[in-house]
Amino acid sequence: MLKISAPRLNISRAALGAALLLACSHAIADVEAYRIDDSHSFANWTIRHVASKTSGTFSDIKGKILIDTKHLENSSVDAKINMLSVNSSHVKRDEHIKKPDYLNVEKFAEMTFISKKIEAKSNTEGVMTGVLTMHGVSKEMTFPFKVLGFGTDPWGGYRTGFEAKTSLKASDFGFTWPLKKNAPVGDDIEITLLIEGVKLPPESPLSRQ
């Protein structure tokens, strides 16, 4: 009996090992890596100014997106925004925004976001939770997002697009301008992220998780 059962046990272990390897290979194959295209990605913002609103964008966004099209919850984002790229369509205002009494870009030149968890609502929508670091302060944020689609670009590449909307309080990140009496600039900032990614080849170092 022992001589018969031992080979069966070995076969079962071998079959289990093969199944696990196959499952892992499928899981890896389903995750695609995209480089954020900073020439087609924007972090748009809107903030109160006196009795109206002012809007602008940060146009220098870099980073990586890993997306599992079948299981969106396995996806992730790692992004950096160059604060020097702030643009409100007014040169003098942009120079003022960069100064210490507002963004203080000389000391805090970069904003980062690293996702921690994604809750999938469908194959194209979900809620992302991650850590946003700005002005030397890190806070966990949760916001909804949409996968806008996938497609071949005119240069032979393959792209995907995302849209996300959220809001934050500047004072939560240590900015003091909203706390001043009769402050002309508000505390609440509305943000719309329009992100476009270019698919990376599997051999690219950025394709690795």
Helix (H) or strand (E) holding 23, with range, is helix 2-30
- What token pair was written down for 98? 């960069």
Half-sphere exposure of 103 (CA within 13 A, CB side): 21
Residue spans of alpha helices (H) in 79-204 = 91-97
What superfamily would CATH give domain 31-207? Lipid/polyisoprenoid-binding, YceI-like (2.40.128.110)
Angle at 83 between CA 181 and CA 91, to 5 degrees: 75
Q: Are 191 and 170 in contact (CB under 8 A)?
A: no
Domain parsing of the chain, residue ranges: 31-207
The whole model's pTM is what?
Answer: 0.82
pLDDT tens track for 21-65: 444 444 445 899 999 999 999 999 999 999 999 999 999 999 999
Q: Are 63 and 77 in contact (CB under 8 A)?
A: yes
pLDDT tens track for 143-162: 999 999 999 999 999 999 99
Cα–Cα distance for residue pair 74/21, rounded to 1 Å: 18
With H, G, I as helix, E, B as strand and everything else as coil, classify residue 33.
strand
| Nearby residues of 131 by Cβ (< 8 Å), 6 or more positions away | 113, 114, 116, 138, 139, 140, 141
Could you tell me if residue 61 is left (phi over 0), alpha (psi between -120 and 50 degrees) or otherwise beta? beta
